[in-house]
Amino acid sequence: MNIALFTPSQNPYSETFIQAHKKYLKDKVFYYYGSGNHIHLEEHPRLNDSWKLFFLKIKRKLFREPFATIYERLLLDSLKKNKIDVVLAEYGTHAYSILPVIKKAGLPLIVHFHGYDASVKRVIEKHNDYREVFAYASKVIAVSKVMMEKLQVLGCPKGKLVYNVYGPQPEFHQVVPTFLKNQFVAIGRFTDKKAPYYTLLAFAKALTKNPDAVLIIAGDGALLNMCQNLTRHLRIEKQVQFLGVITPEEYRNLLGESIAFVQHSITAKNGDMEGTPLAVLEASAAGLPVISTFHAGIPDVVIHGKTGLLSEEHDVEGMAENMLKILNDTGFAKTMGESGKQHIASNFSLQRHINSLQEILELKK
pLDDT of residue 216: 98
Q: Encode the chain in three state secondary structure.
A: CEEEEEECCCCCCCCHHHHHHHHHCCCEEEEEECCCCCCEECCCCCCCCHHHHHHHHHHHHHHCCCCHHHHHHHHHHHHHHCCCCEEEEECHHHHHHHHHHHHHHCCCEEEECCCHHHCCHHHHHHCHHHHHHHHHCCEEEECCHHHHHHHHHHCCCHHHEEECCCCCCHHHHCCCCCCCCCEEEEECCCCHHHCHHHHHHHHHHHHCCCCCCEEEEECCCCCHHHHHHHHHHHCCCCCEEEEECCCHHHHHHHHHHCCEEECCCCCCCCCCCCCCCHHHHHHHHHCCCEEEECCCCHHHHCCECCCEEEECCCCHHHHHHHHHHHHCCHHHHHHHHHHHHHHHHHHCCHHHHHHHHHHHHHHCC
Question: Whole-model pTM?
Answer: 0.90
pLDDT of residue 329: 97
The partner residues of 2 in beta bridges, in order of sequence, read: 28
Please list, in sequence order, all residues whose beta carbon lies within 8 angstroms of the beta carbon of residue 213, skipping any fewer than 6 positions away: 182, 183, 184, 203, 206, 207, 239, 323, 327
Query: What is the C-alpha separation between 213 and 240, in angstroms, rounded?
Result: 9
Query: What is the C-alpha separation between 228 and 244, in angstroms, rounded?
Result: 12
pLDDT of residue 69: 65
pLDDT of residue 36: 78
pLDDT of residue 212: 96
Domains of the chain: 2-166+349-363 (3.40.50.2000), 170-347 (3.40.50.2000)
pLDDT tens across the length of the chain (365 residues)? 999 999 998 866 557 888 899 999 999 999 999 887 788 898 875 665 555 555 555 655 555 555 456 778 889 989 999 999 999 999 999 999 999 999 999 999 999 999 999 999 999 999 999 999 999 999 999 999 999 999 999 999 999 999 999 999 999 999 999 999 999 999 999 999 999 999 999 999 999 999 999 999 999 999 999 999 999 999 999 999 999 999 999 999 999 999 999 999 999 999 999 999 999 999 999 999 999 999 999 999 999 999 999 999 999 999 999 999 999 999 999 999 999 999 999 999 999 999 999 999 998 65
Query: What is the C-alpha separation between 184 and 258, in angstroms, rounded?
Result: 6
Q: What is the pLDDT of residues 13-72, one digit of tens each?
A: 557 888 899 999 999 999 999 887 788 898 875 665 555 555 555 655 555 555 456 778
Q: What is the pLDDT of residues 238-266, one digit of tens each?
A: 999 999 999 999 999 999 999 999 999 99
